[in-house]
Amino acid sequence: MRKRNGSNPGSLSWKRDKKVEAELATARALIREAQLNPNSTTSSPLRDEDYVPHGEIYRNPYAFHRSYLLMEKMFKIYVYEEGDPPIFHYGLCKDIYSMEGLLLNFMENDVLTYRTRDPDKAHVYFLPFSVVMILHHLFDPVVRDKAVLERVIVDYVQIISEKYPYWNTSDGFDHFMLSCHDWGHRATWYVKKLFFNSIRVLCNANISEYFNPEKDAPFPEINLQTGEINNLTGGLDPMSRTTLAFFAGQSHGKIRPVLLNHWKEKDKDILVYEDLPGELDYKEMMRKSRFCICPSGHEVASPRVPEAIYSGCVPVLISENYVLPFSDVLNWEKFSVSVSVKEIPELKRILMDIPEDRYKKLYEGVKQVQRHILVNDPPKRYDQKILIRVTMTDDKARAKAMKTAVKFKGVSAVEIKGDHRNQIEVTGVEVDMIGLTNTLRRKVACAELVSVNKVEPPKPEEDKKPEEKKPEEKKPDEAKPEEKKPDEKKPEEEKQEPCHCHPPCHQPCHQQPWPYGYGMPSSYHHPCNPYGYNARDYIGEPVYNHEPNCTIL
């Protein structure tokens, strides 16, 4: 139930709460009916011709099915529009924090049917800040002042609570945030209502760090190293898997040193490596192993759990105080094995004692649960987005991005170029980078600004000469040599001037150390005026200057 605070009968907020509460009460009653009376699902007007959950991997497949159908029909999320990328509405779509970026980026995509632009129709409200990006841009590893999280999040909550009535009306109970960073829980410490009342969707769902299973939601941590989602699943059938158990990973935290001490390269059936030999392939080893050992490291969450499920390998969970993803719906005992830290010396005996018929059921459970953990593009129903749908960049998305970018104002050329095969380079003059990035995010879902490099436009005198030969001006090959000459003649002038920002900035420039100690890496393009203490310093103004050349993933 929503907690009303200061709303009077007859007010707009009271009427809105009354309507939304009636919808939620109806949904709860229907879910409860399906839970107690499975036959009610057959007579329900909510039909599903695609997939009907069944089997032991679900705690209650009937309640889950009814809940999912009701979510598709009525559930609405409002995303606060305050804040600009890259701190807000944006995240990295690859590496270990990819799930945080995927959610944030897809929230900006119009394909998300759960999103509503009318906050009065919303059931929950999303705070679109990225802990990963806050630390990436504002945290100085030398100074190590973690208060940057406090300044950003406290100011942001203050702004939305002053501008809108919804936070104060519910005391934050119907608001949620998401983070896959190790410090995601820390980000909520500084706002009491955010910590105690709001829903925190965390990959690092650690009870010892005050994760509350009654209100918070655990989210899977998936390491998309290149940002691609193709060929994630695979593996041999149960009878062809020749390795009993496999693990490869560095020694950190409290659990992995114990595992490595007992089993590192000591058994032919339990293959445990700290450094995987060069002749072995990590993914192939998982795909031919019966069990994949998934110990916690510095934090409780491990990307090895989804990786094991993708490989058809039964996860062996070794963790403490870890709330597993979707554990309110999925019965993890039916497709995984849990081993305590004290039982690590007996690991081989425990796995060898599992009967063959039970192992086959575990394997079948792993194959069945893949659809709930897998990231799909385009989204599929009942995949890992039980709560949220996401998309990723692939060949098809790259082609669409190129087709979209080449039509954008000021763009003269688009080509495939970069460290990643799905990176494209956009070249042009006076290109609105914020507008282009948002357009690509909206139409392709996941557009990541990799770099911004300035290309000086030709001087007015040079423009007058080729006026009669307009077709030749459009050729990028002829324009580039002319642009390089003035750049090569100005090295000393650039050193003497305070900065070359466009438009000119006031000191301190982003290339200079910030007086408050939050310096920024010079290798990444930042705004001239760094994010400061007050929220107005990082909300409202475009993050990137309008530079004419960029690379977008």
Q: How many CB atoms sit inside 10 A of residue 101's CB? A: 25
Q: Specify the DSSP class assigned to residue 261.
A: H
Task: Let me know: does 308 contact 253? Beta carbons within 8 Å.
Answer: no
Q: Is 541 exposed, middle or buried (0-12, 13-18, 19+ CB in 10 A)?
A: exposed
Cβ count within 10 A of residue 84: 19
Supply the pLDDT for residue 396. Answer: 64
- The pLDDT of residue 35: 84
Q: Are 298 and 209 in contact (CB under 8 A)?
A: no
The two tokens of residue 68 are 């999912």
List, run by run, the mean pLDDT of 10-residue segments along the chain (553 residues). 46 64 87 81 55 87 89 91 90 84 76 82 94 88 78 95 94 94 91 96 93 93 75 87 95 94 94 93 95 93 92 96 93 97 96 97 95 68 37 57 74 65 66 69 62 46 48 48 47 44 42 33 36 36 34 36
> With the C-alpha atoms ordered 376, 379, 385, 390, is the resulting torsion angle positive or negative?
positive
Report the 10 Å Cβ neighbour count for 179: 27
pLDDT value for 323: 94
- pLDDT, residue 37, reads 81
Residue found under tokens 């079948």: 364
Name the residue type at position 246.
F
The pairing of beta strand 124-126 with beta strand 175-179: parallel
pLDDT of res. 533? 34
- Answer whether 333's CB lies under 8 Å from 362's CB: no
Which domains does the chain possess? 12-218 (no CATH), 238-373 (3.40.50.2000), 457-497 (no CATH)
* pLDDT at position 411: 73
Q: What is the pLDDT of residue 452?
A: 47
- The pLDDT value given to residue 531: 35
Per the CB < 8 A criterion, the answer to whether 235 and 312 are in contact is yes
**DSSP state, 83?**
S
406-410: long-range pairs with CB below 8 Å, 24+: 408/432, 408/435, 408/436, 408/439, 410/548
- Looking at residue 253, what is its pLDDT? 92
**What pLDDT is attached to residue 225?**
77
Q: Which residues contact 126 (CB under 8 A, 6 or more apart)?
A: 77, 78, 79, 80, 107, 175, 176, 177, 178
The count of C-alpha atoms lying within 13 angstroms of the C-alpha of 506, restricted to the half-sphere facing its C-beta, is 0
CA distance from start to end of the chain: 42
Could you give phi then psi for residue 244, rounded to 5 degrees? -70, -50
- HSE (side-chain half, CA atoms, 13 Å) at 365: 21
Range 116-121 contact pairs with CB under 8 angstroms and sequence separation of 24 or more: 116/76, 116/77, 116/78, 117/78, 118/78, 119/78, 119/164, 119/166, 120/12, 120/16, 121/76, 121/78
Structure tokens at 442: 């909206």
What pTM was estimated for this model as a whole? 0.67
CB atoms within 10 A of CB 335: 24
Residue 16: its pLDDT value, please? 63
d(CA 139, CA 288): 42
